[in-house]
């Protein structure tokens, strides 16, 4: 069904039938319930804290012995926050938190190059997100600190991190 057809169908429905359909969707699909819960009661700070706890648990697990260090966990939260419409400065905070946690994790560890390539992609996304949303003034110190730590830690692909940083200057 196209948008036009859906629009016509919805405009022809009486108000009561439309309300019934929305309630049915709300009860059947958790994604819709979550969206409406967020729209009417946005607890953005709570969502951000939950995301940070999960990200931290990826690198420094509480219950298991080995860290999984998956970038995908943070990416899922970031994508979900964008869909929900969370404030851009909170999304940027989670993006940078992921990088900072990964840097802390990488100290004195022998990690594969894929880890560093993944972090370069995260850094690129975070810098561009901050730049496009006009948040550079707020997050420049954290971005610079992340860049400095990649240089001091002699991360592979450190030229890539420098190029990303140069792209915003």
Mean pLDDT by 10 residues, the chain (169 residues): 89 91 92 86 89 93 86 92 91 96 90 91 95 93 93 87 86
Phi, psi of 67 (to 5 degrees): -75, 145
Per-residue confidence (pLDDT) for residue 97, from 0 to 100: 96
* The predicted structure's pLDDT at residue 110: 86
Q: Which residues contact 142 (CB under 8 A, 6 or more apart)?
A: 96, 100
State pTM to two decimals: 0.83
Whole-angstrom Cα distance, residue 34 to residue 62? Answer: 27
What is the distance between the alpha carbons of residues 116 and 1, in angstroms, rounded to a whole number?
A: 44
If phi > 0 it is left, if psi is from -120 to 50 it is alpha, else beta; for residue 124 that is alpha
Q: How many CA atoms lie within 13 A of 14 on its CB side?
A: 2
Radius of gyration of the chain (CA): 20
Per-residue confidence (pLDDT) for residue 153, from 0 to 100: 85
């Amino acid at each position: 069904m196209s948008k036009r057809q859906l629009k016509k169908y919805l405009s022809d429905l009486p108000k009561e039938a439309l309300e019934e359909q929305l309630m049915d969707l709300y009860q059947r699909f958790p994604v819709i319930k979550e969206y409406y819960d967020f729209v009417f009661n946005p607890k953005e700070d709570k969502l951000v804290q939950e995301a940070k706890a999960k990200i931290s648990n990826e690198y420094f697990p509480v219950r298991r012995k080995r860290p999984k260090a998956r970038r995908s966990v943070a990416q899922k939260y970031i994508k979900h926050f964008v869909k929900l419409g969370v404030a851009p400065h909170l999304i940027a905070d989670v993006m940078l938190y992921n990088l900072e946690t990964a840097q802390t994790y990488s100290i004195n560890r022998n990690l594969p190059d894929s880890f560093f390539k993944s972090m370069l992609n995260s850094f690129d996304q975070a810098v561009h997100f901050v730049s496009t949303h006009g948040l550079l003034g707020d997050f420049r110190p954290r971005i610079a600190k992340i860049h400095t730590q990649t240089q001091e830690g002699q991360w592979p692909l450190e030229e890539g991190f420098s190029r990303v940083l140069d792209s915003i200057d």
